[in-house]
Amino acid sequence: MALVHLRRLATPLLLLAAAAFLYAQVGGLRPAYRQLVTEAPFVTAGIALLLGLFFNRSRIFVASLALLAMAWVVSTRLAPGFADPRGLVLYSLLSLFVPLTGLVLVLAPEHGLRSNSGHWLLLLIPAQVVAGWVVMRYAVGAAAALVLDWMPPRVHESWALSMPASVLFAAALVIALWRLLRHGSEDLAALTAWLIFALAVLAAYDEPGFAPVALAAAGIMLAACLVRSSHELAYYDQLTGILGRRALDERLDALGRNFTIAMLDVDHFKQFNDTYGHETGDDVLKMVAAQIARVGGGGTAYRYGGEEFSIVFPGRGLRESLPFLEEVRRNVEAYQLVLRDHKSRNVPKKVAEERRGRRRLPRNETVSVTISIGVAEANKHHSTPQEVIEAADKALYRAKQKGRNCISR
């Protein structure tokens, strides 16, 4: 269910709550410590910036750069209240530039800093800085009058943002949440949280001590996102979204004496690929992985490689594991996969025909696939995880010989 992707916002929101709590404690700190709090956003955003450069992540890099710019403006150029026209204009520009930046980042593809899209994203913050400098240098008076006419700040005594800026933030957040629900990536969760942090800072403009604490927490959040996403790249299979071979190898090293391992293979997968094309084959693998990932009995699913998967049952014997494997087999067999024709693919007709072997697909045609399963448990004949995997592989071969779509042990 797509709503599970919202769990990625749990840590950022906890960080925001922690920032609000720490803000209440800042007033009691000594001046030297308060100065450290003021400088903290530059440290945390700088760390996130360097990590974004190291991991070649253009969107997080630009978000970190925007965070640095925002911290500098808030700490050196803004003062509480809107009596000063320069402060009014600068705050209004910030309240428009920040949600627009967030909107661009959540919609932009992630192709790395050295790609064409990465180069365009890198121009985003400098372009806003230049635009802001031109307005502040040559048109402050006219801009202040325009702000007071069209977007006066403080729609409520406890909400400093103007109505247009509030609407722009709301639109950016809705689109970010929609993208997060659809794709569920760690980057999208971080960018959505970045928008929430920025909204909190600008809405609480009259609380000057809150901004550095919240911005420092936002920098920590962006850095943590890069660490978590790199962990996902290392341990999760990018096509199917389930754990991959590296995660399986580490899990095998931690198994005790009692465990069961099942090896699963998609039946006639090469023939399916040749008939319907590799993109439809990828859809099959995603569907099978989703069904396998729902296995009960404490089992954990992994993509072993190609069309082969593995399920590990720690602390369970073979007989205890069989009912859960049978349920997985039945669920895969019963699933009806809808095939998309070339009109529903984002590729030219000729390319689509070549990918599926020039077989025309009737609209909304459905197919089903089956899996074969080999299963083995740790015993006196094969006690190590690798020996159990080899035994399960042999059992899988026997399942294929029996006619497929069955379980062999």
From the candidates 279, 307, 333, 365, give the one annotated as an active-site residue: 307
**Tokens 């009259």 found at:** 206
The three-point CA angle 286-181-11 to 5° equals: 110
Q: Could you tell me if 204 and 210 are in contact, meaning their C-beta atoms sit under 8 angstroms apart?
A: yes
Handedness of CA 354, 357, 362, 367 (dihedral sign): negative
Q: What is the dihedral of CA 130, 135, 138, 142, to 10 degrees?
A: 170
For the chain, give the number of residues.
409
Long-range contacts of 153-156 (CB under 8 A, 24+ apart): 153/82, 153/88, 153/91, 153/92, 153/95, 153/205, 154/82
3-class DSSP assignment, residue 288: helix
Catalytic (active site) residue 327: no
Run of H or E residues at 252: helix 245-253
Neighbours of 65 (CB within 10 A): 21
Of 243, 248, 223, 224, nearest in space to 233 by CA: 243
Of 95, 101, 67, 99, nearest in space to 82 by CA: 95
Q: What is the dihedral of CA 83, 86, 87, 91, to 10 degrees?
A: 130
81: left (phi over 0), alpha (psi -120 to 50) or beta: left
Which active-site residues does the annotation give? Answer: 307
